[in-house]
């Protein structure tokens, strides 16, 4: 049985894996930024073989800082931390496009997801393209235009 660990910001709060052949643990940290999740991984991944797959969803709360190069360095720190702590397959869950949240935020998230896709490929990581799934799908969002609705999970 494959075990999956999902860790991230409030976006992952209601995530459920429907695969009966896997055991899933979800850790949600509202407001978390990339370096916050890197620190949380230190304690969450106590044994290198505890999970077969680690899925990380974080980054939306970082984009307001307006420092994309620093954010890229933070993702590298996150990856280095994860690789030191686990032998699991690492998957980055890309950002969701926001709905009704303004063009500046949208543009920054689009740039982040574009960069993440290539960065994950270069680093041998799995990548979940949430952008394509959520684009122009308002029913997949809660009223806040940021968090997934029950249909979005």
The pLDDT-based confidence of 73 (bands split at 50, 70, 90) is very high
Q: What is the pLDDT of residue 1?
A: 54
Q: Please give the tally of structural domains in the chain.
A: 1
Least confident of 21-25, 30-34, 42-46: 21-25
Q: What is the pLDDT of residue 49?
A: 79
Q: Within 13 Å, how many C-alpha atoms sit on residue 71's CB side?
A: 20
Which segment of 27-31, 82-86, 147-151 scores lowest on mean pLDDT?
147-151
Which pLDDT score, from 0 to 100, does residue 98 have?
76
Buried b (16+ CB within 10 A) or exposed e, 10-43: bbbeebebeeeeeebebebbeebbbbbbbebbee
Indicate the pTM of the whole model: 0.87
- pLDDT category, 64, cuts 50, 70, 90? confident
Confidence of residue 21 (pLDDT cuts 50, 70, 90): low
Structural domain range at position 69: 2-152
Domain CATH code at residue 110: 3.40.50.12700
Average pLDDT over residues 81-86: 92
Average per-residue pLDDT for the chain: 86
């Amino acid at each position: 049985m494959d075990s999956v660990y999902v860790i991230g910001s409030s976006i992952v709060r209601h995530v459920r894996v429907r695969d009966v052949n896997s055991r899933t643990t979800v850790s949600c940290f509202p407001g978390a930024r990339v370096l916050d999740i890197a620190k949380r991984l230190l304690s969450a991944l106590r044994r290198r073989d505890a999970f077969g797959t680690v899925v990380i969803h974080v980054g939306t709360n970082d984009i307001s800082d307006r420092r994309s190069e620093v954010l890229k360095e933070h993702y590298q720190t996150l990856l280095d931390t994860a690789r030191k702590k686990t032998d699991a397959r690492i998957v980055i869950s890309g950002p969701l496009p926001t709905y009704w949240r303004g063009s500046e935020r949208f543009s920054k998230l689009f740039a982040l997801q574009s960069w993440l896709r290539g960065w994950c490929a270069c680093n041998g990581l799995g990548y979940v393209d949430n952008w394509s799934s959520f684009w122009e799908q308002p029913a997949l969002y809660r009223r806040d235009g940021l968090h997934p609705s029950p249909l979005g999970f």
